Structure 1
Amino acid sequence: MLGGYAEIVVPIFLCLFILLWHWRSWNKHSPIINWPLFGMLPGLLQNAQHIHDYTTRVLKHYGGTWEFMGPCFSNMEFVLISDPTNMHHILSRNFSNYHKGPKFREVFEPLGDGIFASDSDSWRFQRKLIQSMIKNKKFDLFLEKVSRGKVESGLIPILDHFSSMGIEVDLQDVFQRYTFDNVCFLVLGFDPNCLSSEFAQVAHAKAFDQIEQSLLYRHIVPESCWKLQRWLQIGEEKKLSIAWKIFDQFVYQCISSKREQLSRSKTQKMKVEEETFDLLTACIEQDEGGEMDCSTKSNKFLRDMAFSLIAAGRDTISSGLTWFLWLVATHPSVEAKILQEMREHLLVNNEREMNWDIKEISKLVYLHAAICESLRLFPPVPFEHLYAIDSDILPSGHPIGPSTRILYSPYAMGRTESIWGEDCLEFKPERWISEEGRIVHVPSYKFIAFNAGPRTCLGKDMSFIQMKTVASTIIWNYRLQVVEAHPVLPKISVVLHMRHGFKVRVTKRDH
């Protein structure tokens, strides 16, 4: 009897072994294997801890466009792209065919119907609304006041404290606190005061971090798994629900307070001060002007808009600052050139007093080039999502079917030799400066840190203002010494943070 089973089972296992051996042989030149049943998921999981560099290598192997095949019946298939020609086609030339789509909205559920999750008419309306608000002269004045004020009242005292104590500090944590205070003030008109010497835990700031962590979890486990957890309210999904509720309470309270404040000002016939003209105020005033319908006058619309703007302005800028100052701290020649440029353009009457006017700082060409170079190598958002509406054929010849998910990688694009040359892995600000001493224009579909096409980031100029304000202040006033043997690696997250923080010792610079 056993011999009969063996006669059946042994040939089956032998056939499977031969099949897998041949499958491995067929894929031996590929950096990732498409296994029977399991697809390419095993290779992706095996390299999850260095996913950004791994996908960069895979994309290089496949010429910048890679079709990922998930396990059978998992619905995990997508196309990953770093080819600038394909990017130009998707983000500009055939823009109408590529939306955020229902899967994006499902995964990034806390964004609600905000601009980053919306498409078509809703997206166009919100983009036009936000554009009109940030171009308001009152908001320009407010941005300048907040950007400089938070540096002077929050950032400098904190760094002076750590300098005098001679102890190390996690600058990534400092920047996250700084940008959370900043963006809440700019968007909601409320300063949470996370950046204080006590480094206290602020409930809604902590909740925001948890939301980001839970959204990453939704990316790395099967959809059925996190949806089951959401239904049962267990594990990471329970943490998300709690954090989401805490942050929403904070935002809705700010909206309610702002409506009451503006109503009181209107009753008393008082004008809103230009120095406190936040985006929430601007949006509510648009509402009162009769330009918005019932749905866009609601607190839910204001909440979704505020959430998207906070998400855009908090972690992206803190990530950008963290990687930039690490690169400057580890490249003394770049630091010396930035300091020299500041001496030439910002010193008042050749004395030690500096002109910290934003317009003057914005004229620093080498500083701007160094920030661009940092964003090229370490874009705050390493992957972006899109969804094909109809069939298409990319310039590379790859067919795209309806409902195909598209991921594109700004991280991989910044490390592509065909775009940036053989020295693409070097931190080299000079590549951004022309012979005439001006910033070289690079098409947005090649330098894609701020997206490209109709979805180009509306806050690009604001981001540069804030990064230059912080970076110039720190570089002029302090020396940063990276703690010896401190590991610097990208964190596996929705935003490109440092996995172990950015530990430094701060000392006052003696000019």
Structure 2
Amino acid sequence: MADFLGDGIFNVDGEIWKYQRQVASHEFNTKSLRKFVETVVDAELNERLIPFLAVAAAEKKVVDFQDILQRFAFDNICKIAFGYDPAYLLPSLPQAKFAVAFEEAVKLSSERFNAIFPFLWKIKRHFNFGTEKKFRIAVDEVRQFAKQLVKEKQRELNEKSSLDSVDLLSRFLSVGHTDEDFVTDIVISFILAGRDTTSAALTWFFWLISEHPVVEDSILNEIKSKSESPVYNEVKEMIYTHASLCESMRFYPPVPIDTKSATEDNVLPDGTFVKKGTRVSYHPYAMGRADKLWGKDWDEFKPERWLDKDEVTGNWNFVTKDMYTYPVFQAGPRICLGKEMAFLQMKRVVAGVLRRFKVVPVTEKGVEPVFISYLTAKMKGGFHVTIEERDH
């Protein structure tokens, strides 16, 4: 992973990780960043995603909703991370150079990571041919572009002494992080975190609710009880929608498998000996389907398993699960910093899209799409749908 992620937060340990975590944690907990994220998501939703879907509905076009959601998420995370708009979700669906290179780098580094015979890619890298040549070109493209943005932002900061923008890059630079490679590594990691995860979660969510109309109706009723453009506090109160997203990610976690490496000899609670340097993987995809954890009805899509009804008010209360039972956002010291931000973004998209449109898969009802896993989950071949305007 190092050629792509460098010393970014996902690829380091010890003091370098601890330092990045502290800096990022501080920034993620500021109200100004939350407000900025809200503004960015709302603009992308109202100015790009909704108009695109309205045209698709009017023209009765089949669209790849997975691709559209990836474009939406990529625009959002680039604005949040860099203050840069790649304009990837325009009506023409452009092939933005940076986005395409990023996708290629993710795919090929994932193949490296999962290779059964790692010496093969190492030989290819040494002689610079085949997939390794493609990988080097894609990574160079991503890093050069990111570095250029860092330089421009640094120049702007030097001229102004303080930046108007509140994107993550501006924040890191304005508190004195001037090492170009270090800041580039950090920002590339955040793009990876924000681009693929929310779009993967939403892709599977929209497919699941198309298969469960009763759940969709309950979500719609909740959406209609909120204002047209719900503010943060209203989004936070969308309890049933929140439960539906959690249930969807139980079946289809955006990161289906995650790996740690033992820093020293260890023994797991069940007595398994783990030698220093051994890679140990845990599997949220399998865990979400285990009756030991979720009961005999694990195979039912039931948002209610996350809810408890208040007998006095009749309102739903959300019941949080133990993060080690449901490690979709990791657990322990590395639990996802962007969890709240991700739910905010996903619930705004769900509210904005479902209030106005019905998403109808073009595949045969009851046929489950094929789940594939790179670093993050994908729907094989895309998610082809038609968009229908709802009767108001």
Give the TM-score range, shorter chain: over 0.9
Q: Is the 8 A contact 2:369 2:380 kept in 1?
A: yes
User: How much does 1:108 deviate?
Assistant: 4.7
User: How much does 1:465 deviate?
Assistant: 0.5
Paired position in structure 2 for 1:380:
254
Paired position in structure 2 for 1:299:
180
Residues 355, 214 of structure 1: CA spacing in aligned structure 2 closer, same or farther, 3 A cutoff? closer
Q: Which runs of 5+ in 1 are unaligned?
A: 1-106, 288-295, 348-353
Amino acid at match of 1:229: K
Q: Distance in 1 between matches of 2:373 and 2:309?
A: 39
**Residues 131-210 of structure 1: matches in 2 within 5 Å?**
131-210=25-104
Residue 240 (structure 1) aligned with residue 135 (structure 2): yes
Q: Distance in 2 between matches of 1:465 and 1:116?
A: 23
**Residues 91-490 of structure 1: matches in 2 within 5 Å?**
107-218=1-112, 219-266=114-161, 272-273=163-164, 276-287=165-176, 297-344=178-225, 346-347=226-227, 354-436=228-310, 437-485=316-364, 488-490=369-371
Q: Distance in 1 between matches of 2:25 and 2:267?
A: 33
TM-score by length of structure 2 reads 0.95
Q: Distance in 1 between matches of 2:230 and 2:362?
A: 29
User: How much does 1:220 deviate?
Assistant: 2.7
Residues 108, 384 of structure 1: CA spacing in aligned structure 2 closer, same or farther, 3 A cutoff? farther
Amino acid at match of 1:482: P
Residues 108, 385 of structure 1: CA spacing in aligned structure 2 closer, same or farther, 3 A cutoff? farther
User: How much does 1:435 deviate?
Assistant: 2.8
Cα-to-partner distance string for 1:196-244 (whole Å, 9 max, x where unaligned): 0101101110001111111122113411100000001111111100000
Q: Is the 8 A contact 1:382 1:409 kept in 2?
A: yes
Q: Is the 8 A contact 2:256 2:373 kept in 1?
A: no
User: How much does 1:140 deviate?
Assistant: 2.0
Identity %: 36
Q: Distance in 1 between matches of 2:157 and 2:51?
A: 33
State the superposition RMSD in angstroms.
Answer: 1.3
**Residues 61-100 of structure 1: matches in 2 within 5 Å?**
none
Query: SS at 2:378's partner residue?
Result: coil
Match of 1:497 among 353, 378, 388: 378
Query: SS at 1:242's partner residue?
Result: helix
Amino acid at match of 1:121: E
Cα-to-partner distance string for 1:166-186 (whole Å, 9 max, x where unaligned): 011000000111111100000
User: How much does 1:134 deviate?
Assistant: 1.6
Q: Distance in 1 between matches of 2:32 and 2:273?
A: 48
Amino acid at match of 2:339: K
Q: Distance in 2 between matches of 1:432 and 1:109?
A: 40
Cα-to-partner distance string for 1:435-488 (whole Å, 9 max, x where unaligned): 322111211000110000011000000000010011111111101111033861
Paired position in structure 1 for 2:313:
none
Cα-to-partner distance string for 1:4-30 (whole Å, 9 max, x where unaligned): xxxxxxxxxxxxxxxxxxxxxxxxxxx
Amino acid at match of 1:113: D
Cα-to-partner distance string for 1:136-188 (whole Å, 9 max, x where unaligned): 23212211110111101110111111111101100000011111110000000
Cα-to-partner distance string for 1:323-373 (whole Å, 9 max, x where unaligned): 1111111110000001111223x14xxxxxx24212212101100000010
| Greater Cα offset, 214-223 or 327-336 | 214-223
Query: SS at 1:449's partner residue?
Result: helix
Q: Is the 8 A contact 1:492 1:499 kept in 2?
A: no
Q: Distance in 1 between matches of 2:116 and 2:277?
A: 20
Query: SS at 2:372's partner residue?
Result: coil
Q: Distance in 2 between matches of 1:284 and 1:165?
A: 46
Q: Distance in 2 between matches of 1:272 and 1:235?
A: 43
Query: SS at 1:480's partner residue?
Result: strand
Q: Distance in 2 between matches of 1:402 and 1:306?
A: 31
Q: Is the 8 A contact 2:201 2:253 kept in 1?
A: yes
Residues 447, 487 of structure 1: CA spacing in aligned structure 2 closer, same or farther, 3 A cutoff? closer
Q: Distance in 2 between matches of 1:146 and 1:206?
A: 22
Q: Is the 8 A contact 1:150 1:182 kept in 2?
A: yes
Query: SS at 2:259's partner residue?
Result: strand
User: How much does 1:135 deviate?
Assistant: 1.9
Q: Distance in 2 between matches of 1:164 and 1:307?
A: 37
Query: SS at 1:434's partner residue?
Result: strand
Query: SS at 1:192's partner residue?
Result: coil
Cα-to-partner distance string for 1:47-81 (whole Å, 9 max, x where unaligned): xxxxxxxxxxxxxxxxxxxxxxxxxxxxxxxxxxx
Q: Is the 8 A contact 1:487 1:500 kept in 2?
A: no
TM-score by length of structure 1 reads 0.73
Q: Is the 8 A contact 1:379 1:411 kept in 2?
A: yes
Q: Is the 8 A contact 2:289 2:299 kept in 1?
A: yes
Q: Is the 8 A contact 2:57 2:389 kept in 1?
A: yes
